[in-house]
Amino acid sequence: MTELFVSAFVTLFVIIDPPGCAPIFASLTSGASKADRRAMAIRSVMIAAAILLFFAVLGEDLLDALGISLAAFRIAGGIMLFLIALEMVFERRTQRREQRANEINATPEQEDISVFPMAIPMIAGPGSIASIMLLMARGEGVQGSLVVLGAMLAVLLLTMLALLAAGPIMRFLGNKVEAMITRILGVILAALAAQFVIDGISISFSV
């Protein structure tokens, strides 16, 4: 169970990337009051938590309804996570997030960024949704599922803290340190993604 928790926590932490969400949130809420920033940070994480919980609990039933095996989803999810890892290593993910933030800033009538783009897709995006479904499939029984959900809640709590402390975090980390951390996490995610693909292929050939 400890190994499952660590694996789930690391995977979701790398995908959601709380330190990486902080500068985007700070940029999008630069003109908001302190109370509004706090409210949007909490609301963003709560909406993302609801979305991830939905796919964590009902994701497998959804796959069954679509006629998709867990092995196929593991392989597809692993490939998708590997592509995200490559973007992190080469800093393309950061550039895309910054571009999205600039597009939102260019639309002055859109003030509340809780749902879009913070909750969806920056926190509860395709990568995190696929990850939580894959991790729930790895967890055996109720205890394993609770461990995965606990790891998810821990990462979301860190994400909320990162958003609430976005300004101080940016001043402390700086762009160079953030870029270095992102690259390291990208390498770790690439290894985890490869493991998902290996597991999916192993399950397929064992049937």
pLDDT tens track for 1-12 = 789 999 999 999
d(CA 168, CA 162): 9
What percent of the chain is modeled with pLDDT above 70?
86
* Residues 88-103 pLDDT 10s: 788 776 566 556 666 6
pLDDT at 143 exceeding the cut of 50? yes
Where would I find the H helices in 29-165? 34-66, 70-89, 92-105, 126-138, 141-164
Is the predicted pLDDT of residue 30 greater than 90, yes or no?
no
Q: What is the pLDDT of residues 166-182, one digit of tens each?
A: 877 766 766 677 677 77
